[in-house]
Amino acid sequence: MSLTVRIDPHVHSAASYDGNDPTELILEQAAEIGLDAVVVTDHDVLHESVRAAELAPMYGLVGIPGVEVSTADGHLLALGVEEMPPRRAPMGETAAWIRERGGVAIVPHPFQRSRHGVRRNRLESVDPDAIEVYNSWAFTGWKNRRARRYADAFGYPGVAGSDAHKVGYVGRAYTEIEIDDVTRADLTADVVLEAIRDGATRVEGRRTPIPTSARHYAGAGVRKSGFYAKYGAYRSGALAKYGAYRSGSIAKTGLLEAARTLYRISPLSR
């Protein structure tokens, strides 16, 4: 008996300098389109991904923290870590650091120098846990095919990731993982990461028919509009509550609640 798990291991939230959407919206989208897990891998910051992993079970998802770290040789995905890997270190050393802490090191968009992908001559000294052989943002299929050939030649598991920077692209490419002798109730981040290391992966990133894409992106747009409508209402209520306290109409405990709410909706909490 085996369980098929669908995961998008490469997604960016608003915590990335080039990201757009909040974590909650990413999790909602991942659950809606049938993923079992999504890893928020922001650029060189980890805090929002850790929060995403904590929130994931509320959306029926497996929580897996991660980050896209800038190494001396290019970008590297670190899955399953809750501590920021060293920046600007050689990629091989960073991959070893990730493994020592129980994480999985995945090379994203290799050979794509315009996107900080590692060069071939540098990758040969890295020994990662897996290679991203399908990145949905590759302008042509050539670099993806080259990455797949490299992974096959050296025996690395291949994964696919959307590299989404907007919520509508979450799941545009994803990885299917076949895991033996486990039920969905027993599925954990450690189980998923071990299956990636073992190479029980299948890449899904084929071109989606236009009608399907239209429905997919339209659904994301509706969810995004609904999210921000709720967010606006929540924010207005929080500010009103804080103003009421300032005028002396609520108790001291209300101030604490209002302050916490204001922090959650402020840029400082991101």
Tokens 């692209």 belong to: 169
* DSSP one-letter string for 4-47: EEEEEEEE--TTSTT--S-HHHHHHHHHHTT-SEEEE--BS--H
- Give 240's contacts (C-beta < 8 A, 6+ positions apart): none
User: What pLDDT, on the 0 to 100 scale, is given for residue 227?
Assistant: 59
User: What pLDDT, on the 0 to 100 scale, is given for residue 264?
Assistant: 46
For the segment 15-58, what is each residue's pLDDT rounded down to a tens digit?
Answer: 999 998 999 999 999 999 999 999 999 999 999 999 999 999 99
Is residue 29 within 8 A of residue 167, CB to CB? The reply is: yes
User: What pLDDT, on the 0 to 100 scale, is given for residue 268?
Assistant: 38
DSSP 111: T
How far is CA 153 from each of CA 146, 149, 242, rounded to the nearest angstrom? 11, 6, 61
How far is residue 39 CA from its own chain's centroid?
3
Mean pLDDT of the chain: 84
User: What pLDDT, on the 0 to 100 scale, is given for residue 218?
Assistant: 56
Q: What token pair was written down for 22?
A: 């909040």
User: What pLDDT, on the 0 to 100 scale, is given for residue 119?
Assistant: 93
Which residues in the chain land under pLDDT 50? 207-213, 216, 242, 245-246, 249-270
Q: Containing H/E element for 233?
A: helix 210-246
User: What pLDDT, on the 0 to 100 scale, is given for residue 252?
Assistant: 41
User: What pLDDT, on the 0 to 100 scale, is given for residue 205?
Assistant: 75
Is residue 39 within 8 A of residue 163, CB to CB? The reply is: no
User: What pLDDT, on the 0 to 100 scale, is given for residue 110?
Assistant: 95
HSE (side-chain half, CA atoms, 13 Å) at 107? 35
